Amino acid sequence: MHRIEIDRFKCKKHTHCIKVSSDIWRMDSQGRPVFVAHSGADSLHIDDSLLESAKKSALVCPEYAIDVKDANGNSVLGIEPDKKEVRTIKAHYDSMKEWVMDSKGFFTIKPFPDEGVIRVRYYNEKHQLSLVIEGKTAIEIYNTIVREKLISRLDHAADIGAELMKAEIAMNTGINYVQDSPLELRK
């Protein structure tokens, strides 16, 4: 028998836990995760059939708000958050050597703060403007780009995601957005 616990002070309501483990968690009316079996509890005994799902919901939590413990009260998550038990590598990128043009084409991104929208122009493999995507948030635009299959490289998708997030921040804070340049955030 194991016990799953949630620290509600740490929870920031991303709902990752609910998405991966709907057999354990559901969302309450305020967007918080509560146990399916007992919505008012902060901890719950679970049988072995729910153990893997419980662990998964704990491991996806960026706030380390969920723990799963054995009968002796020891965590069974297998890693201690922030302990150096897992290999760490240094990130690096040389745009002059590593950048590769996506065969599906490219995008230009421009926020329009007065209208509250970001417009993305898609130029196809022949470098012809073939689509304009309008949206208010980065997440809805990059999911639309992926759904429409306008991108073929993982590095390009990651770059567009980062650029769109910068455009959203710039639009909502009134700072200037220049594609492929760092945001000029005040210190």
3-state secondary structure of 17: helix
Which CB sits closer to ligand SF4, 63 or 159?
A: 63
Min. distance of Cβ 138 from ligand SF4 in angstroms? Answer: 20
What sign does the dihedral 34-38-40-46 (CA atoms) show?
Answer: negative
Q: Which residues pair with 110 in a beta bridge?
A: 119
Identity of the residue numbered 55: K
Q: Exposed, middle or buried: residue 35 (CB in 10 Å: 0-12, 13-18, 19+)? A: middle
Tokens in use for 175? 């700072």
CB of 16 to ligand SF4, least distance (A): 4
Applying CB under 6 A, the residues found at the interface with ligand SF4 are 6, 11-17, 33, 61, 63, 65-66
Please give the Cα distance from 138 to 118 (Å, whole number).
8
Minimum CB distance to ligand SF4, residue 66 (Å): 5
**Around Cβ 103, how many Cβ atoms within 10 Å?**
9
Q: In the complex with ligand SF4, which residue's Cβ is closer, 46 or 145? A: 46
Minimal distance, residue 20 CB to ligand SF4, in Å: 9
Residue 122 backbone dihedrals phi, psi, to 5 degrees: -105, 125
Q: Given the complex with ligand SF4, which of 21 and 120 has the nearer CB atom?
A: 21
Q: How far is CA 92 from CA 7, 70, 84, 97, in A?
A: 36, 40, 20, 12
CB of 43 to ligand SF4, least distance (A): 13
Of 82 and 114, nearer to ligand SF4 (C-beta) is: 82
Indicate the residue among 28 and 125 with the shorter CB distance to ligand SF4.
Answer: 28
